[in-house]
């Protein structure tokens, strides 16, 4: 959680009608970099942000600027073929270089520091030899090596040297002086070339949707092609230092990363809305085991969209809307992929050719890489809807203990009810306002989470993450 380190300036809301070459919707890393790139190309750009700039997932990132995205090279060659796999890796390697150059040009070279990326395998885990050979085939300068210096033994690690670590808010602050930005301006709809907000509109030749989860549901069927995954992070001071970062080759494993004087421990990756138990407590236990002398400084979680084949959708929003563009599905690799999005979309909007565009095309469909995830998504949707009918009522509201929640029935209707530490009850509709799936209680964070597409709400019903467009309906204590 990097909000504490730097603050970005504030901007007013849109309250007029504007004309622009491009309207960019969403002020996270993807939207800001894309707006900056388009502006640098000489276009008139307006950026519209629902809340505060970089206040959503970009504020919670671990900000590794890395061309190594877990175990991915063998998978890419198998699913996409060598030509497209090479495009993906080339685009990521290029993005790492672009960050360095841009930070230097903006006078914030200190916001990008060199670091080494490692993917490790447990002592009883599989060899990384195949991934190593594939990485070399795709043009990465990878090294396979033995590792010591971690608080646990590992079999080996695949290393990408010369990657980087970003201070996101320091870097983003340097992009802002040249941009036209409106905050607290949620986009409600897009009608042809007109972007509609509550008290203003922007008419633009092109529109970029960089809202992480695409907000326009009329086109592209993104809700059938995206899921959201959540992970948990804990920052420690006084822990032994490590060089760069280490990710477990098994995505359910642990990650370790040096961030300045702090060590960040990560884990608990799961599909949003599926049970994760007390993920924060598991992180703390692991931290106590490996770093008994260290002190916890922060703990937080975050989530990101993942596509069916785990490669982002960057390009035309749909075949029917050539003026609409999208950047989504970064799969927890949104730093380099935001840079790819900025470059690709600028080239596309200027009518030129981006050499690595094909692998990111939102139109693609590779059955062998996508069917399993598609079926899984459909099953969650069916189960989420069916649960409306057969949901078990766990207890009476009066029997819910402090700090706990349950589904109850009241006057023939279902409610998700949470009792806080002072005994106050908060009752909300347990159905997602997006497409009506039954919500699941997440005890670790005291949120109601949707297993269908990953919307999340706090116990008062406030929406925390899209795609749901509204808060949950609420019913207060006195009415129960
Ligand atoms: C635990 C975790 C760790 C990660 N670590 C890394 C890492 O080390 N390296 C890496 O490369 N990536 C990492 N990522 C991924 C990366 O953080 C994200 O992919 C990236 O921040 C997404 O940026 P974004 O701009 O797409 O989304 P966001 O930052 O979520 O920005 C989208 C913006 O759109 C706005 N918006 C939404 N709807 C509307 C609307 N209707 N109108 C106007 N605005 C709207 C939102 O308010 C938000 O500000 C991590 C992700 C997770 C979950
Ligand atoms: S039904 Fe889509 S996020 Fe809940």
Judge if the beta carbon of residue 259 lies within 6 A of ligand 1. Answer: no
Residue 471 has pLDDT above 80, yes or no: yes
- Please work out whether the CB of residue 56 comes within 6 Å of at least one atom of ligand 1: yes
- Mean pLDDT score, 63-70: 97
- Strands 201-209 and 324-328 turn out to be parallel
Ligand nearest, relative to CA of residue 435: 2
pLDDT-based confidence at 391, cuts 50/70/90?
low
Task: Name the closest ligand to CA 467.
Answer: 2
CA 81 – ligand 1 centroid, Å: 29
**What is the number of the ligand 1 atom nearest to the C-alpha of 59?**
29
Residue spans in the chain of domains classed CATH 2.102.10.10 = 390-479
Question: 343 phi and psi, to 5 degrees?
Answer: -70, -50
User: CATH 3.50.50.60 spans which residues of the chain?
Assistant: 17-61+169-224+310-365
Which ligand 1 atom minimizes the distance to the CA of 51? Answer: 47
Which atom of ligand 1 lies nearest, measured to the CA of 257?
Answer: 8
Give distance in angstroms: CA of 57 to centre of ligand 1.
4
- Cα(349) to ligand 1 centroid in Å equals 22
pLDDT tens digits, one per residue of 134-175: 999 999 999 999 998 899 999 999 999 999 999 998 999 999
Using a 6 Å cutoff on CB, does residue 467 contact ligand 2? yes
Name the residue of 96, 226, 272, 332 to mutate for ligand 1: max ligand atoms within 8 A of Cβ.
332
Is residue 389 pLDDT above 90, yes or no?
no
- Judged against a pLDDT cut of 90, whether residue 344 lies above it is answered with yes
Distance (Å, rounded) from C-alpha 315 to C-alpha 156? 37
CATH superfamily of 110-166+227-307: D-Amino Acid Oxidase, subunit A, domain 2 (3.30.9.10)
Q: What is the phi-psi region of residue 444: left when phi exceeds 0, alpha when psi lies from -120 to 50, beta otherwise?
A: alpha
Alpha-carbon span 415 to 73, nearest angstrom = 46
Ligand 2: atom nearest CA of 453 is 3
Tell me the pLDDT band of 4, cut-offs 50, 70 and 90: very low
Smallest CA separation from ligand 2 atom 1, residue: 435
For residue 233, which atom of ligand 1 is closest to its CA?
1
What is this structure's pTM? 0.96
CA dihedral of residues 275, 281, 283, 286 (deg, nearest 10): -130
17-61+169-224+310-365 — its CATH code?
3.50.50.60
pLDDT at 85: 98
Q: Is 186 close to ligand 1, i.e. is its CB under 6 Å away? A: yes
How does pLDDT run across 281-320, given as a tens digit for each residue? 999 999 999 999 999 999 999 999 999 999 999 999 999 9
pLDDT in tens, 184-204: 999 999 999 999 999 999 999
- Whether ligand 2 lies within 6 angstroms of the CB of 435 is answered as yes
CATH 3.30.9.10 domain residues, the chain? 110-166+227-307
pLDDT tens figures, 400-425: 999 999 998 888 888 999 999 999 99
Q: What is the pLDDT of residues 78-116, one digit of tens each?
A: 999 999 999 999 999 999 999 999 999 999 999 999 999
- Please work out whether the CB of residue 27 comes within 6 Å of at least one atom of ligand 1: yes
pLDDT digits (tens, 9 = 90+) for 325-343: 999 999 999 999 999 999 9
Question: What ligand 1 atom has the least distance to the C-alpha of 55?
Answer: 49
pLDDT attached to residue 305: 98
Indicate if ligand 2 lies below 6 Å from the C-beta of 439.
no
CATH code for the domain defined by 390-479:
2.102.10.10
Q: Which residue of 24, 32, 48, 56 sits with most ligand 1 atoms within 8 Å of its CB, as the best mutation to test the pocket?
A: 56
In whole numbers, what is the pLDDT of the chain averaged over residues? Answer: 94
């Amino acid at each position: 959680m990097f909000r504490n380190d730097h603050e970005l300036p504030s901007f007013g809301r849109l309250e007029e009608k504007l004309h622009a070459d491009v309207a960019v919707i969403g002020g996270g890393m993807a939207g800001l970099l894309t707006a900056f790139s388009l502006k640098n190309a000489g276009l008139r750009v307006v950026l519209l942000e629902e809340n505060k700039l970089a206040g959503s997932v970009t504020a919670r990132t671990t900000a590794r600027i890395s061309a190594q995205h877990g175990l991915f090279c063998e998978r890419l060659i198998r699913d996409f073929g060598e030509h497209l796999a090479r495009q993906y890796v080339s685009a990521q390697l290029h993005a790492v270089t672009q960050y360095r150059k841009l930070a230097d040009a903006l006078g914030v070279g200190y916001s990008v520091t060199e670091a080494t990326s490692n993917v490790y395998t447990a002592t009883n885990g599989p060899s990384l030899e195949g991934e190593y050979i594939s990485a070399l085939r795709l043009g990465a300068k990878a090294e396979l090596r033995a590792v010591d210096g971690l608080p646990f033994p590992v079999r080996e690690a695949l290393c990408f040297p010369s990657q980087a670590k970003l201070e996101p808010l320091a870097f983003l602050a340097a992009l802002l002086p040249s941009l036209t930005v409106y905050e607290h301006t949620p986009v409600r709809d897009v009608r042809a070339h007109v972007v509609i907000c509550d008290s203003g509109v922007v008419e633009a030749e092109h529109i970029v949707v960089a809202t992480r989860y695409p907000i326009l549901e009329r086109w592209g069927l993104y809700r059938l092609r995206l899921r959201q995954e959540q992970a948990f992070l804990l920052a420690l001071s006084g822990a032994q230092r490590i060089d760069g970062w280490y990710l477990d080759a098994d995505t359910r494993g642990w990650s370790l990363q040096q961030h300045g004087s702090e060590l960040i421990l990560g884990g608990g990756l799961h599909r949003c809305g599926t049970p994760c138990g007390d993920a924060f407590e598991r992180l703390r236990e692991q931290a106590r085991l490996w770093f008994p002398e260290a002190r916890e400084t922060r703990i937080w979680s975050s989530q990101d969209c993942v596509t069916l084949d785990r490669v982002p959708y960057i390009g035309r929003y749909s075949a029917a809307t050539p003026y609409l563009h999208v950047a989504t599905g970064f799969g927890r690799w949104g730093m380099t992929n935001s840079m790819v999005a900025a470059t690709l979309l600028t080239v596309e909007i200027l009518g030129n050719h981006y050499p690595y565009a094909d692998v990111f095309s939102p139109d693609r469909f590779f059955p062998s890489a996508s069917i399993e995830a598609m079926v899984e998504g459909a099953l969650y949707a069916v189960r989420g809807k069916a649960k409306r009918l057969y949901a078990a009522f766990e207890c009476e509201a009066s029997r819910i203990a402090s700090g706990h929640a349950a589904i109850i029935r009241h006057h023939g209707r279902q409610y998700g009810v949470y009792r806080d530490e002072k005994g106050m009850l908060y009752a909300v509709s347990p159905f997602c306002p997006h497409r009506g799936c039954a919500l699941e209680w997440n005890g670790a964070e005291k949120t109601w989470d949707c297993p269908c597409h990953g919307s999340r709400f706090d116990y008062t019903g406030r929406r925390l993450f899209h795609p749901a467009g509204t808060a949950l309906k609420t019913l207060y204590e006195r009415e129960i």
